[in-house]
Amino acid sequence: MRTLLRLTGYLVPHWWMAAGVVLMLGAITALRMTPAYFTQIVIDDVIPARHWQNLALLVLGVFASAGLLNVLTSVQTYLGQMMGQRVIFDLRSEVYGHLQSQSMSFYDENQTGQLMSRATNDVGMVQFFITGALIQAINFALMVGLNVWAMATIDGWLTVLTLSVAPLIVATQMQVSTVMPMWRAIQQRMASLSTILQENIGAIKLVKALTREEFEANRFNGVLWDVRQMRLQTSRSMQAFMQSMMVATTLSQGLALCYGALLVVEGRITIG
């Protein structure tokens, strides 16, 4: 959590872009619900009353909302990338300045490849967090909030029943925390790869003079094999997480459809 707070702290100088991304995500989430709202009007009002002119207007509204959705999505993506690039620029400059301020003994104790990996690969992962994971988390929160509000306006018990699987989703999310150490281990092994490459390329004449090519190749392949195995293990864990989320989501949808159908039969809500 401390690391997360430190990363989000880099967004403070670019707060206006972060606010713009959040506003865009809110508008995008609302627009994604527009076709469902128009479909409700068509089923409940237009078709029974045979107001075909209104149907044409609603169809045009769907196309207009889809076009606006595409525009806002493009703007939000560009704004998110711009924010991420500015944050990464600040972070890389800070990391480089920190490296410049270190003493000579610091460079004697730390391998060059490790330091290069920290300044490139690790900072790249921060960019992925800013432009990907953080924005997706905000989008998910807005989507859930808007959908809960929409269901609450239809029927309170329908909302409660749909959210009854929330503990399962939370438990699944808690299991994702076990994946984070795997990613950190992968980054550390990738740093080891960078170290081996830097050492061998920088001293390639010495490696060839001592005929150590096979030894160095085996050392490189050993670390590469570790990275491969770690990535496969992480992939298996993420697939298990995704399948659990799909089961929880499907269960929630099934409960909502069954109870919603019962409410329609009893005449408490409309089909739309």
Domain residues for 146? 1-154
Give the pLDDT mean for 239-258.
78
* pLDDT above 80: residue 170: no
**Same domain? 181 vs 260:** yes
In this prediction, residue 191 carries a pLDDT of 74
Higher pLDDT, 222 or 122: 222
- Residue range 194-210, pLDDT digits in tens: 777 777 777 777 778 77
227 CA to centre of own chain: 22
Element (H, E) at 171: helix 166-176
**Same domain? 40 vs 119:** yes
**Same domain? 67 vs 132:** yes
Give the pLDDT mean for 8-23.
81
Give the pLDDT mean for 176-191.
73
Total domain count, the chain: 2
Global confidence as pTM? 0.66
Give the integer Cα–Cα distance in Å for 247 and 209.
59
| Helices 134-154 & 15-32 angle (0-180, nearest 10) | 40
**Same domain? 168 vs 266:** yes
Q: What is the CATH number of the domain that holds 95?
A: 1.20.1560.10
- Residue range 47-84, pLDDT digits in tens: 777 777 777 888 888 888 888 989 998 888 888 888 88
- Residue range 208-245, pLDDT digits in tens: 877 788 888 888 888 888 888 888 888 887 777 777 77
Tell me if 38 sits within 8 A of 58, measured CB to CB: yes
**Same domain? 100 vs 213:** no
